[in-house]
Amino acid sequence: MRGSYYDVLGIAQSSSDDDIRRRYLQLMRRYHPDYNRSPLAQVRSAEINEAYRHLTNATLRAGHNAHLTSRRQDVVAARVPSYSSNHGGTELARYRRPSLFKRYSASIACAALLAATGIVGWQIQQHQPGHQSAAIARSDEQDDSDSRREVAELIAASTAAARTMPQLSSEAVRRGANAFRRLEKEKPGQARAFSELCHARAAYDDSWNALDFCVAFDEAAFIDAATHPQPTPAAAYFVARHDQAAHSYIYKVSNIDAIDGRLLRIKAMVSARPTPPRNAVDRVLHGISKRSWNLADAAWKAVWPGSSARTVRRPAYDF
């Protein structure tokens, strides 16, 4: 990888989150394997994803900036001249004043270079007709207008792609997050297998709700892995799923901005704390439903030992 994550994205350290996101989208449109057939496109896109994940996270970005500051201080400290001792480290070597030419050689060279540059520039200006300066100014204005037009076209394309996508189902997202929590409670260690099966079914089903369900499941697993004191074996898998969640929607919508907006809404819904039922009737109905499933499960196991009623009668994506 390059010297820093700022070098990977080609931005300054003082860039804002909007600048980082805009630069990330530009680079992904250029180096994403779906658009770039170069054998190094996958490696380059992985570097860009890693840099974007670190710089958009406030904690990771602060740590990266501290690391860069420490590295600069080490470089400056290594360049400080160390005067060795002539007598076993008790006496510093006598400082010899450099000659006048050596002291002012850099200043003389800079003055000569500036004078030569001014003379050459004056000569060029004398030989150029006046209309060329106006043409250069018009060219700069044209480039600026082209940049603004490209930005406007990108925003319009993102808005149009977002309108073509169906509305995000909060029920599908809620069921996906609850499926992970229930799976970790009843069958810990099976989250990765469930995620792989879920994405395989979503690809076969070609349904937006099915894909949103799988992404919500992966996001809940990623949040659990990030807050878990000891990383689980499947933590790396869900971290990769979190970083490459946009790839799951590429075959549906090619606009990265629209996909990013949908992912942000899913992550916000999964991160929010679950709200209890609003009234007493909802709580009573929820309790009756839960106890009915438990009773049906017990009766099923009594009739067919070794099996579970939940795996047979519950919906495929509700686990």
Task: Please state the rounded mean pLDDT for residues 240-262.
Answer: 78
Higher pLDDT, 56 or 278: 56
Which regions of the chain does DSSP assign to beta strands (E)?
none
| pLDDT at residue 79 in the model | 62
pLDDT confidence of 223, banded at 50, 70, 90? confident
The pLDDT tens digits of the residues spanning 111-156 come to 888 898 888 887 777 666 654 555 555 665 666 676 677 767 767 7
Residue 85 has pLDDT above 50, yes or no: no
Distances (CA, A) of 278 to 134, 217, 285: 69, 25, 12
| pLDDT at residue 144 in the model | 66
Q: Which of 114, 115, 158, 120 is nearest to 262 (CA)?
A: 158
Distance CA 154, CA 265 (A): 21
| pLDDT at residue 137 in the model | 55
Q: Which pair of structure tokens corresponds to residue 239? A: 């971290």
| pLDDT at residue 141 in the model | 63
| pLDDT at residue 121 in the model | 81
Q: Which pair of structure tokens corresponds to residue 209? A: 């709700």
Task: Please state the rounded mean pLDDT for residues 152-181.
Answer: 78
Q: Show contacts of 9-13: CB within 8 Å, 24+ apart.
A: 9/48, 9/51, 9/52, 9/55, 13/65, 13/68
Higher pLDDT, 229 or 14: 14
Q: pTM above 0.85?
A: no
Higher pLDDT, 287 or 43: 43
Task: Please state the rounded mean pLDDT for residues 61-79.
Answer: 83
pLDDT confidence of 312, banded at 50, 70, 90? very low
Mean pLDDT of the chain: 76
**% of the chain surpassing 90 pLDDT:** 3
C-beta separation of 55 from 63 below 8 A: no
Higher pLDDT, 305 or 139: 305
Distance CA 159, CA 153 (A): 10
Residue 220 has pLDDT above 60, yes or no: yes
Most confident of 89-93, 95-99, 108-112, 293-297: 108-112
Q: Which pair of structure tokens corresponds to residue 101? A: 């030419």
Q: Which of 170-179, 236-245, 247-256 has the lowest mean pLDDT?
A: 247-256
| pLDDT at residue 110 in the model | 85
Q: CATH classification of 5-76, choosing from 1.10.3720.10, 3.30.470.30, 1.10.287.110, 3.40.50.2300?
A: 1.10.287.110
| pLDDT at residue 80 in the model | 54
Distances (CA, A) of 102 to 107, 108, 109, 167: 10, 10, 11, 73
Higher pLDDT, 55 or 1: 55
Half-sphere exposure of 12 (CA within 13 A, CB side): 3
Higher pLDDT, 32 or 135: 32
Task: Please count the other Cβ atoms lying within 10 Å of the Cβ belonging to residue 12.
Answer: 8
**305 φ, ψ (degrees, to nearest 5):** -60, 145
**% of the chain surpassing 70 pLDDT:** 76
| pLDDT at residue 166 in the model | 80
Q: Which residues contact 54 (CB under 8 A, 6 or more apart)?
A: 5, 60, 61, 64
C-beta separation of 125 from 136 below 8 A: no
Q: Which of 138, 140, 193 is nearest to 319 (CA)?
A: 193
Tell me the domain boundaries of the chain: 5-76, 170-275, 278-319
